[in-house]
Structure 1
C-alpha cells in the first residue's frame, strides 16, 4: 500500500472475485498519472492478488455445497462483488446510474440463481469464488421450499452443535436487515449457491466499462466499488 502511494500504508481496498486487490490513490501521490484513466481525484490502482482472507470467527471459504444449497456462513454484508441477474439472463455490474454487462456469457451461473429466485436480483461473488445470494423462502421457485427448509435446519443444527455464535448472529442480522418489518422470520436468507469453478468453465464475470465518464465520477471517491 505504501509503495502504491497510500499514506502510511493504510486505506480502503477491495478484493475481486478473482482475488485481485484494488485500491485508490490520490492523483497527487500517483507516479504514473500519464497512464491513468483520469488525471485528478482518486486513481484506481491494482496491487496484486491474494488467495483469500481469514477471520477468526467467520468462515469465508466454506465447504462447497455438492448437492443443493446451504446457508451462507460468511459475512452477509458488503462481501463479494455485487452483480445483478436480469430477466434476460444477463449479468450486470451496477453503480449509481451506470450499468456494465459482463464481457462473457454466464448461462449456468444465471440458471443456478434463477432456480431459486426466478425473477432475478443481486448475486454476490466473493474473493475465493463463492457465490451467494438472498432468497425469499415465501417466493422461492416451485418445489424448492423443502430444500430451503432443510438447508436452514442443517445450518442451525451444525452452528448450535459447534457453538458458532458468529454465524447465528450474522445470519439473523441479515434476515432483519432484509425484512420490511424488522422481523427475521420474513427476511431474505443468505444462501450459498456454489462456486464459480462449477459454472461456465469457471469463467469469472468482468464488466465491460464502455463509458469513460464513469472513471471521472467514481474518481471523486476513495471508496473502491
Structure 2
C-alpha cells in the first residue's frame, strides 16, 4: 500500500485537496466506476466450473477464483502490486513483512503472468512488463557495475522497483547474496541466467496471443 508524499504544510488543507468532494458525494457515485470495472472483469475472465465426487475439483475451482480476483485487486497500478504474497494489498504475514518487501522476484511473478494469460486477463500483466521495460537502462547500468563492465542486461531475479539488483538486501560483494553480481554467491545468481529470457518470452507470448488488445488487454468472447 502507499501514501501521498508529505513535504510539510497544513495537514487539513492537504487532505481536503486530495479528497476533493469525496467525503460528501453519494456512495453510489463513489462506487460506480469501481463496480463497473469489476463487472467487466467478471464478465471477461475465463473462470471455470469443476466437480468431482470427493469435492477436490470444487475446492480447486474456488482456489483459482479467489486467486484471480485477489490478483485483479492488487495488479491495477503502474507496477506489480504483489509478489510472493508480501508487500501488496494482500499479505499472508499480516503486519509482518516476510522476505524483503522492496524486492520483486520474477520466479514468483511468473505464476501471476501465467494465470493472467490462461484466464484472458492480459491487461493485468502490463504492470509487470512495465517494471522491466521501464528499468532497462538501470538494469544495464547495474550489469556493467556488477558484472565486470560487461554489456547487456543481466536481469536481477531479486530486483527493486528501480532496476537495482540489490533487492534481497545483500551487498554485491564477494560471497554476498545480491543478484547479477560477478563476485557474489551463486545462491541467487544461478537464477539470473533465465530471468531476462523468461520475461522476454512472456512479452512475446502475450503479443502473439490472438485477440489481445493494448487498450483493454482481454480476449473478445
State the TM-score bracket (shorter-chain normalisation): under 0.3
Q: Under a length normalisation based on structure 2, what TM-score does the superposition of the two structures give?
A: 0.27
Q: Under a length normalisation based on structure 1, what TM-score does the superposition of the two structures give?
A: 0.27
For the pair shown, the structure with the greater C-alpha radius of gyration is 2
Which of the pair has the greater relative contact order for Cα pairs under 8 Å at 6+ separation? 1
